[in-house]
């Protein structure tokens, strides 16, 4: 590092030379509980004992571990900004304004830090970890410290961006003795989140805080946003502000992102019939099937932001509703959207939300009449499906299981979807009708269920329905029903 000088006024770790910002820092700490904290090294794909350096757009990124022992592990990402390189870059591409980044707004380093984060931790951002696969999707206790992030003059902004995702947010406004308040805060985040989710949130929200992404944003930035936004952005109350700022206020891109966030299955036409979004049609179809099965207690597995839970609550036929999701962000959004706190006690008693991973057996899932897996299986790695099958059909064993999933054949009808692309960036696969039917058949056979196949949405004679639906009825209950029919006749 060049002979730097620590910013004395603010006491934060930003190094400057003659007023020019040359380095910013982010630290991420965990205590993994039953596992050694140094497993963080596996998750980040960066060895705790080595200092590693990477060339990035803005300069050099260094990864090192100020603390790495069994109890606690802290990884640091230090971005050393090369003003000369940045200036060279600025000359090459008119989009990079050196002044904007380094001189008049010395604090605005968040975009650069996000770019570095995306490059250095790419595998972790993609949620892959072969050494500790079970840890990747599991929420772990995390603390993130950013000595200085811009807030655009709104010290509440970090809270509005991070709190809905399940973070406990602490900010300290920073001041400069000469200029006073500097539109910048020290930011501390703590919470239990899967690491990949946390990194993706930083990747999107740091430039959003910054709001100074001056470079040209191309169409693919929408995909990047939706991919990194995964499931948490859909239900984020500030998704509009996030999309606008992330996409540098480019109107058509923002509109496209918001449309896709409103309904992940949507491209423009023709995804709707009878004027209703496919997602709403799916919920109706699921409710109808649950009523037909006579279910009273229902568990919505992978409930996301809780829309189906909300619909179930509207119908007094459903007396016990449990929403389960692996994402604390999604559950937080569900809690707010459902207004659980303001709900009358009688209704409130019917519903519970619970954080749990579907790929692990969970005894609280036993004893419900029905389980719903609506647009969830395709979010699991194929290799993890058998674990989910065991947990749901083998262990929880409700009388009825409803599964919906996209019909890959129908994708050609979405004009915005490239050939072979998935409807949602987090999908791990999408099945055609034969593949889904084969899976349904196999699961039913293996776990003793009677299957029935159906579809949701406008039916295309060649391609089928946009959404595939399977109803599994536990074999012994199917037989009992048949017997009682016999008895009656
Ligand atoms: N059922 C909702 C949400 C579908 S999106 C709807 O139809 O609108 C998929 C959901 O599955 C997300 O909320 C995601 O967090 C959840 N999910 C993905 N993997 C999971 C896992 N292993 N365990 C529990 N939930 C999971």
9-23, 332-346, 380-394: range with highest mean pLDDT? 380-394
CA of 358, closest atom in ligand 1: 23
* In 163-264, beta strands by DSSP E: 168-176, 180-193
Best of 304, 323, 362 for a ligand 1 pocket test (most atoms within 8 Å of beta carbon): 304
Q: Please say if the pLDDT value at position 191 is more than 80.
A: yes
The predicted structure's pLDDT at residue 83: 62
Q: Which CATH architecture has domain 6-215?
A: 2-Layer Sandwich (3.30)
Q: Could you tell me the two tokens for 74?
A: 């802290």
Centroid of ligand 1 to alpha carbon of 41 (angstroms): 27
Please give the model's pTM, rounded to 2 decimal places: 0.52
Centroid of ligand 1 to alpha carbon of 489 (angstroms): 43
Quick one: which of 121, 135, 129 has its CA closest to 32?
A: 135
Q: Is 154 helix (H, G, I), strand (E, B) or coil?
A: coil
Best of 230, 302, 380 for a ligand 1 pocket test (most atoms within 8 Å of beta carbon): 302
pLDDT tens column, 281-296: 999 999 999 999 999 9
The predicted structure's pLDDT at residue 31: 86
* Cβ contacts of 196 within 8 Å, gap of 6 or more: 124, 125, 126, 127, 136, 137
**Residue 95: pLDDT band with limits 50, 70, 90:** very low
**Which string of DSSP letters, residue by residue, matches 76-97?**
EEEEEE-HHHHHHHHHH-TT--
The predicted structure's pLDDT at residue 267: 41
The predicted structure's pLDDT at residue 112: 80
Q: Could you tell me the two tokens for 41?
A: 């090294």
Q: Contact at 8 Å (CB) between 298 and 371?
A: yes
In this structure, the residue with its CA closest to atom 15 of ligand 1 is 327
Q: Are strands 297-301 and 140-150 parallel, antiparallel or unpaired?
A: unpaired
Same fold, 6-215 and 278-488: no
**Residue 93: pLDDT band with limits 50, 70, 90:** very low
**Which string of DSSP letters, residue by residue, matches 250-264?**
-HHHHHHHHHHHH-T
In this structure, the residue with its CA closest to atom 9 of ligand 1 is 376
Between 12 and 30, name the one with better pLDDT: 30
The predicted structure's pLDDT at residue 23: 62
Average pLDDT rounded to a whole number, residues 360-368 = 94
Query: What residue segments make up the domains of the chain, in order of their start?
Result: 6-215, 278-488
Best of 279, 282, 325, 430 for a ligand 1 pocket test (most atoms within 8 Å of beta carbon): 325
Quick one: which of 439, 406, 404 has its CA closest to 421?
A: 406
Centroid of ligand 1 to alpha carbon of 46 (angstroms): 29
Centroid of ligand 1 to alpha carbon of 302 (angstroms): 3
The alpha helices in 325-451, defined as continuous H runs, are 328-338, 345-348, 385-389, 433-447
Quick one: which of 433, 443, 327, 303 has its CA closest to 387?
A: 443
Q: What is the mean pLDDT of the chain?
A: 81
pLDDT tens column, 99-157: 334 333 344 457 788 888 988 998 888 888 777 777 777 888 999 998 888 887 788 89
Identify the CATH number of the domain defined by range 278-488: 3.40.50.150
Between 467 and 71, name the one with better pLDDT: 467
Q: Contact at 8 Å (CB) between 138 and 33?
A: no
pLDDT tens column, 472-484: 999 987 655 444 4
| DSSP state letter for 424 | S
Centroid of ligand 1 to alpha carbon of 115 (angstroms): 28
Q: Is 355 exposed, middle or buried (0-12, 13-18, 19+ CB in 10 A)?
A: middle
Q: Contact at 8 Å (CB) between 63 and 48?
A: no
Q: How far apart are CA 442 and CA 60, in angstroms?
A: 52
The separation between the first and the last C-alpha atoms of the chain, rounded to the nearest angstrom, is 87
């Amino acid at each position: 590092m060049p002979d730097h000088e620590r910013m004395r006024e603010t006491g934060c770790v930003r190094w400057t030379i003659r007023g020019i910002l040359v380095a910013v820092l982010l630290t991420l700490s965990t205590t993994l509980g039953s596992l050694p904290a140094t497993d963080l090294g596996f998750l980040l794909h960066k060895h705790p004992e080595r200092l590693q350096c990477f060339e990035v757009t803005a300069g050099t990124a260094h990864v090192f571990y100020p603390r790495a022992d069994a109890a606690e592990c802290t990884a640091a990402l230090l971005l050393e900004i090369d003003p000369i390189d940045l200036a060279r870059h600025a000359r090459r591409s008119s989009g990079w304004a050196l002044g904007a980044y380094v001189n008049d707004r010395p604090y605005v380093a968040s975009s650069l830090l996000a770019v570095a984060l995306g490059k250095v931790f790419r595998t972790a951002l993609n949620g892959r970890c072969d050494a500790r696969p079970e840890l990747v999707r599991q929420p772990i206790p995390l603390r993130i410290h950013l000595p200085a992030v811009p807030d655009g003059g709104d010290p509440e902004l970090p809270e509005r961006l991070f709190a809905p995702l399940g973070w406990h947010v602490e900010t300290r406004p920073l001041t400069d003795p000469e200029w006073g308040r500097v539109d910048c805060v020290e930011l501390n985040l703590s919470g239990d989140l899967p690491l990949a989710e946390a990194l993706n949130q930083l990747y999107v929200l740091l430039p959003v805080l910054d709001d100074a992404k001056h470079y040209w944003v191309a169409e693919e930035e929408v995909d990047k946003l939706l991919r990194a936004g995964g499931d948490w952005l859909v239900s984020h109350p500030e998704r509009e502000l996030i999309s606008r700022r992330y996409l540098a206020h480019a109107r058509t891109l923002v509109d496209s992102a918001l449309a896709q966030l409103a309904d992940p299955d949507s491209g423009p036409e023709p995804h709707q019939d009878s004027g209703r979004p496919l997602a709403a049609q799916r919920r109706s179809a699921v409710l109808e099937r649950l009523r037909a099965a006579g279910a009273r207690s229902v568990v919505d597995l992978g409930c996301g932001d809780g829309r189906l839970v909300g619909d179930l609550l509207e119908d007094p036929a459903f007396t016990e509703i449990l929403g389960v999701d692996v994402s604390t962000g999604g559950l937080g959004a569900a809690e707010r959207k459902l207004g659980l706190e303001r709900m009358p006690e009688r209704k409130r008693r019917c519903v519970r939300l619970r954080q749990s991973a579907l790929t692990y057996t969970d005894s609280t899932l036993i004893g419900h009449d029905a389980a719903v897996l609506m647009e969830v299986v395709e979010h699991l790695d194929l290799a993890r499906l058998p674990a989910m099958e065991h947990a749901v059909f083998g262990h929880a064993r409700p009388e009825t299981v409803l599964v919906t999933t996209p019909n890959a054949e129908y994708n050609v009808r979405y004009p915005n979807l490239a050939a072979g692309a998935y409807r949602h960036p987090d999908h791990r696969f999408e099945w055609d009708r034969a593949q889904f039917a084969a899976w349904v058949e196999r699961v039913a056979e293996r776990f003793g269920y009677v299957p029935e196949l159906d579809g949701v949405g406008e039916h295309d004679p060649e391609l089928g329905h946009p959404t595939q639906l399977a109803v599994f009825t536990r074999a012994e209950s199917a037989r009992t029903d048949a017997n009682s029919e016999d008895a009656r006749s």
